[in-house]
Amino acid sequence: MKNIFLFLTLLVLSVSANAQQNQKQQDSTKTEKLDEVLVKAVRVNATSPITHSNVTKKQLAKRNLGQDIPILLNYLPSVVTTSDAGAGVGYTGIRVRGIDAQSTNVTINGIPYNDAESLGTFWVDLGDFASSIENLQLQRGVGTSTNGSGAFGASINVLTDAVSKESNGEISNSFGSFNTRKHTVKFSTGLLNDHIEIAGRLSNITSDGYIDRAETDLKSYYLQGSYVDDNTLIKAITFGGKEVTYQAWNGIDAQTLEDDRTFNPSGMYTDADGNTRFHDEEVDNYSQDHYQLHWNQRYSNNWSTNISFNYTHGKGYFEQYKEDEDFADYDLTPLEIGGETVNTTDLIRRRWLDNDFYVLNATANYKNDKVNLTFGSSYNFYDGDHYGEIIWAEFASDSQIRDRYYEGNGKKTDLSMFTKATYRLNDKVSLYGDLQLRLVGYETSGLTSDRIPFNIDENYSFFNPKAGITYKLNTKNNLYFSYARANREPNRKDFENNANVKPEQLNDFELGWRHNTDKFRLYVNGYYMLYNEQLVLTGQIDNVGSAIRTNSGDSYRLGLEVDAAIAITDKFSLQPNFTISSNKNKQTFESVNGELVDLGKTSISFSPELIAANAFVFQPKEGFQISILSKFVGEQFMGNTEHADSKLDSYLVNDFNITHEWKPKSIFKSVVFSGLINNIFNEKYVSNGYFGSFDYDDSSSSTGTTTGYYAGFYPQATTNFLLGVTLKF
């Protein structure tokens, strides 16, 4: 690793020294347009009747000091983020309008990133990926048709680094609380002979975490080779990473939260002498590598096409120390020792994933003064093995090391075809239409991790129409309305928990007003999301920390989003946003003390009624900026029964961010100093948790059964800081 860092550092210096000799001028506008073709099929423009936010490379860079992408998006409208380790490094999560990551579609250069089986996104596998992002778009609601798993309330479309016409390089280092460190080296050769660019990045992020032993070690890379001329862009991209993260998904109970909020029960066991100890390797260890090839072609001012190929390979495991495990659960034979039967043992197990993911995308775009038409298709194939090993046991019975106590396989195909168009009816009115047909097949075999036969063979056909209208009042104001239909299949865990689980449907209505002037921007959007069989989070988690979901019948999300930017003076600005919403299951049933109780209308889990954020920005001169960032999240329930023990309190967190760019006269193009103080008022808050119930025998109860409840919490870090410096060549 150190040798690679040294090599890239020397390459950066070499590229910088020869920059002037190796470069020629090129029409940058054409290059930029060709880069944007990569995501054109899944993006919308500023006047589209789709609710969205755009984030640029420059905006990401101000706080890009090691925290994961969800944390960097924390201040966007309707967004709530959380971190297992408490400080934004490692496993992190994002919810938009109360909608979890399993229902949020993510694409990278138009290639689906969601795991095909779990439907989740694991940014921890791509440490420091923010350093290779050119821009991204967060669409709220169903949004436009996209590739891969359907967007069921939000989508994140990422475009990686654009082709640079000039050679450049940078070395970035940051450090901070909890021994957090980030080291990044980037380079670009610029356009060699006006046509070819090679660019890359190598990163390492480590952190001890706010939570005890929640260490993270993230190694990642990004490399692209590009060929470009006036009408052609060909990009070969590879990126990936390896993460080793100590588990922190167990959370803590309410009393521990009060007494010792950083306590981590993961890996805890009792040794032969009765002492409490922690397994050193209670970790998640996973590698993921992506290979993309993109060919963008412009045939005229009207026609352009894109063809993309992708192959992703992921492999890794998580390791656990387990006490007093039954032999039968691991297909082990009982032992006779000293005349006694032994059928339990302490052991260390690993549960493995080994998967391959293939993608082919093809799109074409036609546009003129009246029409912007895009049509295309995407085909995905996933093949994933699941298996478990015992690597140590106190009593190994007749097992051998690396014996697999369960094996299973999942295969998934996903074919989608779409046509979308924007038609400018006149100077005032634009019409938008979008039709998508999606065909999904999912087949499993073998056993689950609990050694239960798991054989699913399901096929789905989804038709997802969308339509909208934008009315231009004047140069500063426009109104829009849209309707979108979405369908989405269950994930692997949904099937494991309920073989009869149903796909979910959504009708999304959006009505908005956009006002733009040089000094004032105001976006107001109302939404009504009407669900049938929405797969809501129950509040419970399984034995590997994954959220459990269930169909909820009829439900809805009704909300108002306001997003503004106000230039008070040339140096001061405000950027407030807030969301007020009502998120309800229309009818909820719960088993209480052995009887089924109709609770009527209840709040959907993890859906606060108020989310607000603000950035107070002071920029006294170019290259120097100070920001106070505030985030408020209202109270929310971790389950769907509104039980008092499932409530997460509201919280208000404030961060301080400062950046200063110094441009010396020699050696460096610039030196950027960055600082971030998170949670400056030391708020002790919880952003996530879990909740469930259990029945136990009780002779004093009229039914002979009493219901008990449990809750777990994921505390977030108190005041902490990150400081960084970036040397640009």
Segment 616-668, tens digit of pLDDT: 999 999 999 999 999 999 999 999 999 999 999 999 999 999 999 999 988 89
User: SS3 letters for 367-407?
Assistant: ECCCEEEEEEEEEEEEEEEEEEEEEEECCCCCCCCCCEEEE
Residue pair 548/579 in contact by the 8 Å Cβ criterion: no
Distance CA 240, CA 128 (A): 10
What percent of the chain is predicted at pLDDT more than 90? 82
- What pLDDT does residue 33 have? 64
12 has a pLDDT exceeding 80: no
Six-digit token pair at 169? 């390089």
Average pLDDT over residues 83-97: 94
Average pLDDT, the chain: 91
Distance CA 182, CA 726 (A): 11
91-96, long-range: CB within 8 Å, 24+ apart, which pairs?
91/122, 91/124, 91/245, 91/248, 91/249, 91/284, 92/67, 92/68, 92/123, 92/124, 93/688, 94/70, 95/606, 96/138, 96/140, 96/153, 96/154
Average pLDDT over residues 527-550: 89
List 276's β-bridge partners, or say none.
270
560 has a pLDDT exceeding 90: yes
Average pLDDT over residues 54-69: 94
- What pLDDT does residue 13 have? 40
Element containing residue 181 per DSSP (H, E):
strand 180-188
Residue 692: name the closest of 672, 706, 673, 712 by CA: 712
Handedness of CA 589, 591, 592, 594 (dihedral sign): positive
6 has a pLDDT exceeding 80: no
pTM to 2 decimals?
0.92
Distance CA 438, CA 446 (A): 27
Distance CA 617, CA 630 (A): 11
- What pLDDT does residue 336 have? 87
Tens digit of each residue's pLDDT (9 = 90 or more) over 404-458: 999 999 999 999 999 999 999 999 999 999 999 999 999 999 999 999 999 999 9
Tens digit of each residue's pLDDT (9 = 90 or more) over 321-373: 999 999 999 999 999 888 889 999 999 999 999 999 999 999 999 999 999 99
Of 10-19, 187-196, 204-213, 694-703, give the lowest mean pLDDT range: 10-19
Pairing between β-strand 520-532 and β-strand 504-516 as defined by DSSP bridges: antiparallel
Pairing between β-strand 133-141 and β-strand 52-56 as defined by DSSP bridges: antiparallel
Catalogue all structural domains in the chain, each as residue range(s) with its CATH number.
Answer: 2-728 (2.40.170.20)
Question: Terminus-to-terminus CA distance in the chain, angstroms?
Answer: 22
- What pLDDT does residue 91 have? 93
Distance CA 638, CA 616 (A): 31
25 has a pLDDT exceeding 60: no
Of 35-44, 72-81, 380-389, 507-516, give the lowest mean pLDDT range: 35-44
Distance CA 365, CA 373 (A): 6
Q: Report, in angstroms and rounded to the nearest whole number, the Rg of the chain calculated over CA atoms.
A: 26
DSSP 29: H
